[in-house]
Chain A
Amino acid sequence: MFESILITIATAATPLLIASVGELVVERSGVLNLGVEGMMVMGAVTGFGVALATGSPWLGVLAAIMVGALFSLLFGFLTLTLVTNQVATGLALTLLGLGLSGMLGEGFVGQPGVKMSYLYIPYLTDIPFVGKLLFGQDPLFYLSIILTAGVAWFLFRSRAGLTLRSVGDNHTSAHALGINVIGIRYLAVMFGGACAGLAGAYLSLVYTPQWIENMTAGRGWIALALVVFASWRPWRVLAGAYLFGAVSIGQLHAQALGIGVPSQLLSSLPYLATIVVLVLISRNRRLTMVNTPASLGRPFVPDR
């Protein structure tokens, strides 16, 4: 039972983690894309549709990643090339995604989808207590961990990552140094879109293999909050996603046990926990300042 609870937590945390890590890279480059929810839901509908049509969840995942990236390109074009307001454009992207996905997915409603199969390694998966947890989950779970490690390495150990962070911290200086600010931001935005698309596919192919309109149900917003919660650090995003997952699953168990605490209070626990941690983290102002991308959300128009 303990193992299956941990697996449930991992399933709840993985889509948040994937979307958050993507958005973290976007924000590290100085762009605030509030359209995570919209890109995610587009990924969910695409992943579901392609998997249903081809019978292959992997093709669904691939298509979702591509659509997520393409959809974010729209955001990129508007905010980076036409220099529209990032907050408003991001919100518009969410609304567009929710509406468009509902329209595209009309024919998918009520159809059971294709579920991505779990990993199975002989002997290893059969180890009692930890086998299924470590070696028997869905492939995207492992991918999410690799993704986090990869982004952490990229941002803080590679030269390209340093360049990306410099763009996010001070785009004017970066520009003066001859760095292609807009180009790098385009790439970051597309990476974020691809991750959001993948997170959406996780919902419609692994978490609940079906298409229902608006099935992201606010997870894109939670992913956005997690980035701030993690003070723009990849491993903290992972910790945040799992904390959030653990508290939301834990409260369901508490309810099923019938411990007599009002369910409304229990349901709000994940959010309360997030706020408490956020307050604790931001007590150290200097550390927060160091991690916050200084150019976040500020428009950049290169002067000739």
Chain B
Amino acid sequence: MKKTILLTAAAAAVLSFGTIAAEAKVKGCWVYVGPIGDFGYSYQHHQGLLQAKEKFGDELETAYLESVPEGADAERAIERLARSGCNIIFTTSFGFMDPTNKVAGKFPDVKFEHATGYKREHPNVATYNSKFHEGRYVQGVIAAKLSKAGVAGYIASFPIPEVVMGINAFVLGAQSVNPDFKVKVVWANTWFDAGKEADAAKALIDQGVDIITQHTDSTAPMQVATERGIKAFGQASDMIKFGPETQLTSIVDDWGPYYIERIQALIDGTWKQQDVWGGMKEGHVVMAPYTNMPDDVKKLAEETEAKIKSGEFNPFTGPITKQDGTEWLKAGEVSDDGTLLGMNFYVKGVDDKLPQ
């Protein structure tokens, strides 16, 4: 009896697998740096996968690997996916840059899409990123309006250009309201360690900051801010549930539209190497509702967002002075994307020494 059940189950499995294989036109695969349950960065990428799945239904077969460490392991993980019949592989963290390019060289028929990096060594590698710093500029504006201390705390992950860019955009936004605004930075040296992020938030609050923002992936700082009765910004996803009275807004990464567009291109045979850096305008960066702030601040935030969205304003528009006092951009001058993507210096007003 038991044997029959097993056999039937096996047959059913083979059958159902057969049908999927016959109908699925394309297999899309994802590599995440964190667990999909981080409710932050990797969670949002996974939401993108789910959106794509919903859009394409049976036409798309998906697979993903989560919590893949950046480094030597990543190469094996990506190669495994490439070998398993994936047609397009999205590697979603900066540290997957070199492994992605390495594997791409070995599998010219598979398309590779690397998020937040800049290397495209083979024709089958494309890169994509979001202009998160646009959202951070808006956050800076809000912070300077609301902070009584004139100092905000910034929990950062690793000193890579994207994070540095975010800190600078935040400071510039704040200084557009209050030229003397300061930002204290604490590097957690991790993307994801709830306890450490909470400790960092506590340390910053103990040193007198009254607004917290983060570039790490967990909801812990939001909870600490709630406990201590100050305001905070969410990260990557809408974290309002963790701080109904605390969250001012959050930068929400919406990767779904991009994933759908790229998989469609693959199905249509129009996939080409490209480098996309979408922001608010493209719908890649969405701000969560502005909450827990007076109406005038909300209005200013919305206006700033609208200006960035329409392309009327770029957060990195001069005059901007570097931390060391030298001039970076002249009045009215706008930074080119290349400088931003390789950003390794602070602007004036950051109360920290950039780790090199």
Is the CB–CB distance between A109 and B187 below 8 Å? no
**Highest count of chain B CB atoms <10 Å: which of A8, A11, A106, A256:** A256
Is the CB–CB distance between B199 and A102 below 8 Å? no
* Interface: B142 (CB within 8 A): no
Contacts of B237 in A (CB 8 A): 110
Contacts of A252 in B (CB 8 A): 186, 199-200, 203-204
Contacts of B204 in A (CB 8 A): 252, 256
* Interface: B252 (CB within 8 A): no
Is the CB–CB distance between B351 and A258 below 8 Å? yes
* Interface: A217 (CB within 8 A): yes
Q: Which of A4, A218, A219, A258 contacts B352 (CB 8 A)?
A: A258
Q: How far is the CA of A248 from the CA of B186 in the complex (A)?
A: 12
Contacts of A264 in B (CB 8 A): 187, 189, 355
* Interface: A290 (CB within 8 A): no
> Which residue of chain A has the shortest Cβ distance to B40 in the bound complex?
A212
* Interface: A195 (CB within 8 A): no
Q: Which of B38, B185, B355 contacts A212 (CB 8 A)?
A: B38
Contacts of B242 in A (CB 8 A): 112, 210
> Which residue of chain A has the shortest Cβ distance to B203 in the bound complex?
A252
Contacts of A219 in B (CB 8 A): 195
Contacts of A1 in B (CB 8 A): 206-207
* Interface: A161 (CB within 8 A): no
A-contact 0/1 string along B29-72, CB 8 Å cutoff: 00000111111000100000000000000000000000100000
* Interface: A54 (CB within 8 A): no
Q: How far is the CA of A211 from the CA of B218 in the complex (A)?
A: 10
> Which residue of chain B has the shortest Cβ distance to A5 in the bound complex?
B206
Q: Given A112-B241, A249-B203, A256-B184, verify A212-B37 contact (CB < 8 Å).
A: yes
Shortest distance from the beta carbon of B317 to any chain A beta carbon, whole Å: 27
Is the CB–CB distance between A253 and B220 below 8 Å? no
Q: Given A262-B355, A264-B189, verify A214-B207 contact (CB < 8 Å).
A: no
* Interface: A257 (CB within 8 A): yes
Is the CB–CB distance between A256 and B203 below 8 Å? yes
Q: Which of B34, B43, B195 contacts A12 (CB 8 A)?
A: B195
Please choose the segment from A120-128, A172-180, A201-209, A234-242 that sits at the chain B interface, where 4 or more of its residues have CB less than 8 A away. A201-209
Q: How far is the CA of A112 from the CA of B184 in the complex (A)?
A: 27
* Interface: A215 (CB within 8 A): yes
Contacts of A262 in B (CB 8 A): 353, 355-356
Q: How far is the CA of A295 from the CA of B73 in the complex (A)?
A: 36
Contacts of B43 in A (CB 8 A): 109-110
Q: Given A212-B218, A256-B186, verify A217-B199 contact (CB < 8 Å).
A: no
Q: Given A255-B186, A258-B184, A263-B187, verify A213-B199 contact (CB < 8 Å).
A: no
Q: How far is the CA of A257 from the CA of B185 in the complex (A)?
A: 9
Is the CB–CB distance between A207 and B206 below 8 Å? no
Q: How far is the CA of A141 from the CA of B132 in the complex (A)?
A: 40
B-contact 0/1 string along A104-116, CB 8 Å cutoff: 0110011110000
Contacts of A257 in B (CB 8 A): 207
Q: How far is the CA of A106 from the CA of B219 in the complex (A)?
A: 16
Q: Which of A112, A217, A256 contacts B207 (CB 8 A)?
A: A256
Q: How far is the CA of A207 from the CA of B43 in the complex (A)?
A: 22
Is the CB–CB distance between B37 and A208 below 8 Å? no
**Highest count of chain A CB atoms <10 Å: which of B37, B192, B200:** B37
Shortest distance from the beta carbon of B308 to any chain A beta carbon, whole Å: 28
Q: Given A210-B194, A255-B187, A264-B189, verify A110-B351 contact (CB < 8 Å).
A: no
Q: How far is the CA of A214 from the CA of B38 in the complex (A)?
A: 9
* Interface: B93 (CB within 8 A): no
* Interface: B193 (CB within 8 A): yes
Q: Given A112-B242, A217-B195, A249-B199, verify A256-B153 contact (CB < 8 Å).
A: yes
* Interface: B292 (CB within 8 A): no
> Which residue of chain B has the shortest Cβ distance to A218 in the bound complex?
B193
Is the CB–CB distance between B355 and A263 below 8 Å? yes
> Which residue of chain A has the shortest Cβ distance to B195 in the bound complex?
A207
Q: Given A8-B206, A255-B352, A264-B189, verify A207-B35 contact (CB < 8 Å).
A: no
Is the CB–CB distance between B35 and A102 below 8 Å? yes
Contacts of A110 in B (CB 8 A): 39, 43, 219, 237, 241
Is the CB–CB distance between B352 and A212 below 8 Å? no
Is the CB–CB distance between B67 and A213 below 8 Å? yes
Q: How far is the CA of A4 from the CA of B200 in the complex (A)?
A: 13
Contacts of A256 in B (CB 8 A): 153, 184-186, 203-204, 207
> Which residue of chain B has the shortest Cβ distance to A3 in the bound complex?
B206
> Which residue of chain A has the shortest Cβ distance to B197 in the bound complex?
A208
Identify 30 residue pairs between A and B in the complex whose beta-carbon atoms are under 8 Å apart, listed by A's number: A4-B202, A5-B203, A5-B206, A15-B195, A105-B37, A109-B37, A109-B39, A207-B195, A207-B198, A208-B223, A211-B37, A212-B37, A212-B39, A213-B37, A214-B67, A217-B190, A249-B199, A252-B199, A253-B203, A256-B184, A256-B186, A256-B204, A256-B207, A258-B352, A262-B353, A263-B159, A263-B187, A263-B355, A267-B188, A267-B189
Question: Nearest 9 pairs between A and B by C-beta?
Answer: A213-B35, A263-B187, A213-B37, A252-B203, A109-B37, A260-B353, A217-B193, A208-B194, A208-B220
Contact surface of A with B, Cβ cutoff 8 Å: 1, 4-5, 8, 11-12, 15, 102, 105-106, 109-112, 203, 207-215, 217-219, 248-249, 252-253, 255-258, 260, 262-264, 267
Additional A-B contact list (16), CB under 8 Å, known A210-B242, A262-B355? A8-B199, A11-B199, A109-B37, A203-B194, A207-B198, A212-B35, A212-B218, A213-B34, A215-B194, A217-B194, A252-B200, A253-B206, A255-B352, A258-B352, A260-B353, A267-B189
